[in-house]
Amino acid sequence: MATRIISAAVGLVLLAIAVLFYGTLAFNVIVLLITLIALHEIFGAVKLHNKFGMYGWCALFAAFVLLYDKMPPTGAIHLTAGLFVFTAGMAAFAVFHFADIPFSSIAIVYMETIAILFGFSSTLLMRSVFPQDGLFYLIAALGCGWLADTGAYFSGRLFGKHKLAPNVSPHKTVEGSLGGLLTNVLALCLIAWGYHRFLGGGPISYPHLIAVATVGALAGMLGDLVASSLKRQQGIKDYGTIMPGHGGIMDRFDSVIFTLPTVLLLSYYLPIVLR
């Protein structure tokens, strides 16, 4: 438990540092570094590592997406072209290394690369879509993953009786998930109130906030289960050891990869902060 607390404290310090650089290119670089570690963990999970330079190819695409911080329409066509080239490259790996690399492993790496980038690139889009409140939406998205997970953990320990997905994650319960959902909604309402009251944020639409927090938390739970299913299939407990007591980057960000784009897209149509 002490190790977990220390790792969590270090993680919070690193998060605070990232927040300080939120509006700068340094933030892009921090997000890229987290992404590269996450990709390395995925490659390790499927026992590919850097076979035939495939990790380098995925890392190059990640750098292109996360450092090419442009808004549509100019950025959209270039990012679409980049996705096409990346996909063609992965297809080439599947064809020319058919005898060396299982197709299923290439498919997993491809899917996870897209999912991870779709998630983490949302942190950059929040700066552009919500220029005044991007940091608030980022915190809300992280909260949908981590606050809900914390609430689910304690609720499950206190009240958990009915298994949610026993074949994938035997310790998760329906009661824990409901507790996590409620924890997330209440905590984000408190954060939003403080943002408006003390930090100069605009008026808060609490109906929108409750909707976004609810769907966001559900998305985070789905992300957690998806990551757990891959770990079970590969016969591993954690994706990595970079955070003692917690595992790897993917073990901490599996839910956030899903909550980031969910909060971004929902908040675009259901803005929480009214300006």
**Alpha carbon of 130 to those of 33, 62, 200: distances in Å?**
24, 23, 15
Q: d(Cα 236, Cα 258) in Å, to the nearest integer?
A: 22
Query: Please, are residues 93 and 106 in contact by the beta-carbon 8 Å criterion?
Result: yes
pLDDT of residue 243: 80
The vertex-204 CA angle with 198 and 208, nearest 5°, equals 145
pLDDT of residue 5: 60
Over the chain (275 residues), what is each successive 10-residue block's mean pLDDT?
59 75 90 96 92 93 86 71 96 93 95 97 93 95 93 93 92 96 97 95 97 98 96 93 84 95 98 92
Lookup result for tokens 């990869």: 257
Residue 268: what residue type?
Y
Residue 85: what residue type?
V
Helix (H, G, I), strand (E, B) or coil at 202: coil
DSSP designation for 190? H
Lookup result for tokens 């757990």: 228
pLDDT of residue 73: 56
Backbone angles phi, psi at 163, to 5 degrees: -65, 140
DSSP designation for 70? -
Q: d(Cα 241, Cα 129) in Å, to the nearest integer?
A: 35
DSSP designation for 160? -
Q: d(Cα 173, Cα 83) in Å, to the nearest integer?
A: 38
Q: d(Cα 209, Cα 225) in Å, to the nearest integer?
A: 24
Using alpha carbons, select from 181, 146, 152 the residue that is nearest to residue 169.
152
The vertex-43 CA angle with 41 and 46, nearest 5°, equals 110
